[in-house]
């Protein structure tokens, strides 16, 4: 599904390369965690997948499509295949949980009938039916992240990309969020997650890609957090 072919990224600001000759592939329905110290290249990898950044050399493929050959006008259509979850949630503060999720569907041109059906289903999947009409400031950090996950999946993407989704959460909320991501994966959605959390990685027991100074240094099929 996703294939990195000798991808490098060098910024023109004197920094060390963000990525160096990175090659790997992610099959449909996999759950892959990407780990490494700050600055190892984890977030750059995710930006390549969603076409937010371009490689200096090499190619990123989604199925057989060269992601960075997509014309700008067609990028929104490509990005509909990917749900994105951020460490800082990125919820709209003036909208309720329901409205934040519905907004993602409206942006994709979905009908009112589809929104009325799919938003409650997404809220149920993250166990937040009773918080549908709460605003973000009325939610805990874990609840905000669960709303963000519901927003990411409501358009039924092929992939969910999660950048440090538990980075701001306490251990209980972290556990809940990871279990929801596992559930989404079990239902057939590919999940690619970056994290610093050793406990999350060890508990998942899924594939782990380890980055160090822009290089892929380990790729363990059923891995632990090893740095």
Say how far apart CA 104 and CA 128 lie, in whole Å. 17
pLDDT at 12: 83
Alpha carbon 84 to its chain's center: 4
Nearest partner of 147 among 104, 114, 190, judged by Cα? 104
pLDDT one-digit tens code per residue, 131-144:
999 999 999 999 99
> 207-212 and 31-35 as β-strands: parallel, antiparallel, unpaired?
parallel
pLDDT one-digit tens code per residue, 21-59:
999 999 999 999 999 988 899 999 999 999 999 999 999
Residue 205 confidence class, pLDDT cut points 50, 70, 90? confident
Task: Please indicate, yes or no, if residue 47 is contained in any of the structural domains.
Answer: yes
pLDDT at 199: 86
Both tokens assigned to 88: 């800082």
Strand order in the sheet with 207-212: 82-85, 159-163, 190-194, 31-35, 207-212, 215-220
Task: Please indicate, yes or no, if residue 115 is contained in any of the structural domains.
Answer: yes
- β partners of residue 34: 194, 209
Nearest partner of 37 among 217, 221, 223, judged by Cα? 217
Model pTM score = 0.93
Residue 46: CATH number of its domain: 3.40.50.300
pLDDT one-digit tens code per residue, 141-186:
999 999 999 999 999 999 999 999 999 899 999 999 999 999 999 9
Task: Please indicate, yes or no, if residue 62 is contained in any of the structural domains.
Answer: no
**Residue 13 confidence (pLDDT) above 80:** no
Largest CA distance in the chain: 51
Task: Please indicate, yes or no, if residue 75 is contained in any of the structural domains.
Answer: no
Kindly tell me the burial class for residue 199, based on how many C-beta atoms sit within 10 Å of its own C-beta (0-12, 13-18, 19 or more).
middle
Task: Please indicate, yes or no, if residue 123 is contained in any of the structural domains.
Answer: yes
Both tokens assigned to 160: 């969910």
Could you list the residue range(s) of the whole structural domain that residue 150 is in? Answer: 29-54+80-220
Task: Please indicate, yes or no, if residue 11 is contained in any of the structural domains.
Answer: no
pLDDT at 202: 85
Q: What is the DSSP string of 138-175?
A: GS-HHHHHHHHHHHHHTT--SEEEEESTTTT--HHHHH
Task: Please indicate, yes or no, if residue 2 is contained in any of the structural domains.
Answer: no
Both tokens assigned to 176: 């809940």
Task: Please indicate, yes or no, if residue 103 is contained in any of the structural domains.
Answer: yes
pLDDT one-digit tens code per residue, 88-120:
999 999 999 999 999 999 998 999 999 999 999
Domain count, the chain: 1
């Amino acid at each position: 599904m996703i294939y990195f072919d000798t991808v490098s990224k060098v910024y023109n600001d004197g920094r060390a390369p963000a990525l160096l000759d990175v090659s790997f592939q992610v099959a449909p329905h996999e759950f892959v965690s990407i780990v490494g110290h700050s600055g190892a290249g984890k977030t750059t990898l995710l930006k390549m997948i969603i076409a937010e950044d371009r490689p200096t050399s090499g190619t990123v493929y989604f199925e057989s499509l060269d992601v960075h050959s997509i014309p700008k006008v067609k990028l929104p259509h490509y990005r509909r295949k990917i749900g994105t979850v951020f460490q800082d949630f990125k919820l709209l503060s003036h909208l309720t949980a329901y409205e934040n999720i519905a907004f993602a569907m409206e942006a994709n041109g979905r009908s009112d009938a589809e929104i009325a059906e799919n938003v409650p289903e997404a809220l149920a999947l993250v166990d937040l039916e009773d918080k549908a009409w709460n605003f973000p400031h009325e939610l805990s950090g874990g609840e905000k992240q669960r709303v963000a996950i519901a927003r990411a999946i409501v358009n039924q993407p092929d992939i969910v990309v999660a950048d440090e989704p538990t980075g701001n959460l306490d251990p209980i909320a972290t556990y809940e969020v990871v279990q929801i991501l596992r559930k989404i994966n079990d239902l057939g959605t590919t999940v690619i997650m970056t994290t610093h959390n050793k406990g999350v990685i060890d508990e998942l027991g899924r594939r782990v890609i380890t980055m160090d100074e822009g290089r892929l240094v380990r790729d363990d099929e059923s891995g632990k957090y090893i740095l």
